[in-house]
Homo-oligomer: A and B are copies of this chain.
Amino acid sequence: MHILIIGGAGMVGRRLAERLASETRLDGKPVETMTLVDVVPPEAPANFTGKALLETADLSAPGEAEALVATRPDIIFHLAAIVSGEAELDFEKGYRINLDGTRYLFEAIRKAHEEDGYTPRVVFASSIAVFGAPLPYPIPDEFHTTPLTSYGTQKAISELLLSDYSRKGYFDGIGIRLPTICIRPGKPNKAASGFFSNILREPLKGEEAVLPVGDDVRHWHTSPRSAVGFLLHAATIDLDTVGPRRNLSMPGVSATVGEQIEALRRVAGDKAVALIRREPDPMIMKMVAGWAPGFEAKRSRDLGFTSESSFDEIIKAHIEDEMGGTL
């Protein structure tokens, strides 16, 4: 089986490729070829026994989608996007990459389908940014998508396209709305949501972290490990059980910042918690106030998607996957 990962150099894309390499099979079938494509050069996953094809390309450039589809991958993971902040600052770039890029991909598949019946599985990484305040807690599965960012708008539009192309039979699509990923590995970054990870990851290493919002801020999280699990489950689930509503809010952990901190205390002690420095940032506080507090996610749970059930588990997943299992 040939698997294409668009956005294969990103944090989730890399982990997905590594997991596929280590499991060697998907849905019982051997993973013979993996194509990783991204705007920055992707790396081959470690210890992959199949063929890894690495490509540096921009999906929104002419001909790129057709070239990717020409190899007729069995499963296409579409994870490529420019992030929320950049899509907000550069309106044209956001629409070009996040909307046109997606549409070019879907159109290339449709044309291939009309040529020879090609009908791949397409797994699309959507986002809880398709929802915009005011939001209830928990957000029900049938709540409307009224994004308050261009990024969220582009994801919501891509979801609608995915459903329509799937309904017409051009491909077998499924969209999964990822929670905020926590603990995000790597260095602290400037994303407004970065602090959710920073206040755990840095103290776990004995380093200071800044908390720009109050302890009562509630948000929706899952681990990188669970995010990869969602993608793999979406790649193999029987879509007849999903029906025509192909975009699902994934399960996760709803927690306040205070609850995150108490989980850190239980796992790593008071010393770790003492490394969190409170520096309220009114701009970040205002942005975060509009974010999703949590979801019912009944449909996705009923369909077998699973996440951690507490923040203690999310922290332990990070220690196992990123810190060699010990503090």
**Cβ of A285 < 8 Å from any Cβ of B?**
no
How many angstroms between the C-alpha atoms of A153 and B160 in the bound complex?
6
Contact B148 A145 (CB under 8 A): no
Report A259-292 CB contacts with B as 1/0, cut-off 8 Å. Answer: 0000000000000000000000000000000000
* Residues of A near any B CB (own CB < 8 A): 91, 110, 132, 142-148, 150, 153, 156-157, 160-161, 163-164, 167-168, 244-245
Measured between beta carbons, the chain B residues less than 8 angstroms from A245 are 132, 146
Contact B160 A156 (CB under 8 A): yes
Contact A168 B244 (CB under 8 A): no
Contact B147 A164 (CB under 8 A): yes
How many angstroms between the C-alpha atoms of A29 and B167 in the bound complex?
47
A-B contact pairs, 14 of them (CB 8 A): A91-B168, A132-B245, A144-B145, A145-B145, A146-B244, A147-B160, A147-B163, A150-B164, A153-B161, A153-B164, A157-B157, A157-B160, A157-B161, A160-B160
How many angstroms between the C-alpha atoms of A105 and B157 in the bound complex?
17
Stoichiometry, as copies per complex, reads 2
Measured between beta carbons, the chain B residues less than 8 angstroms from A153 are 160-161, 163-164
Q: Looking across the interface, which residue of chain B has its beta carbon closest to that of A155? A: B160
Q: Looking across the interface, which residue of chain B has its beta carbon closest to that of A88? A: B168
B91, B143, B156, B167: which contacts A142 (Cβ < 8 A)?
A: B143
Measured between beta carbons, the chain B residues less than 8 angstroms from A146 are 163, 244-245
Q: Which 6 A-B pairs have the closest CB atoms?
A: A153-B164, A144-B144, A157-B157, A146-B245, A153-B160, A142-B144
How many angstroms between the C-alpha atoms of A245 and B156 in the bound complex?
14
Which of A91, A142, A145, A147 has the largest count of B CB atoms less than 10 A from its CB?
A142
How many angstroms between the C-alpha atoms of A78 and B147 in the bound complex?
22
- A308: shortest Cβ distance to chain B, in Å? 26
How many angstroms between the C-alpha atoms of A128 and B142 in the bound complex?
16
Measured between beta carbons, the chain B residues less than 8 angstroms from A164 are 147, 150, 153
Contact A148 B244 (CB under 8 A): yes
Q: Looking across the interface, which residue of chain B has its beta carbon closest to that of A150? A: B164
How many angstroms between the C-alpha atoms of A279 and B132 in the bound complex?
47
How many angstroms between the C-alpha atoms of A31 and B316 in the bound complex?
67
- A87: shortest Cβ distance to chain B, in Å? 10
- A122: shortest Cβ distance to chain B, in Å? 16
How many angstroms between the C-alpha atoms of A164 and B149 in the bound complex?
7
How many angstroms between the C-alpha atoms of A106 and B7 in the bound complex?
29
How many angstroms between the C-alpha atoms of A157 and B161 in the bound complex?
8
Measured between beta carbons, the chain B residues less than 8 angstroms from A168 are 91, 150
Measured between beta carbons, the chain B residues less than 8 angstroms from A91 are 110, 168
Measured between beta carbons, the chain B residues less than 8 angstroms from A110 are 91
Measured between beta carbons, the chain B residues less than 8 angstroms from A143 are 142, 144
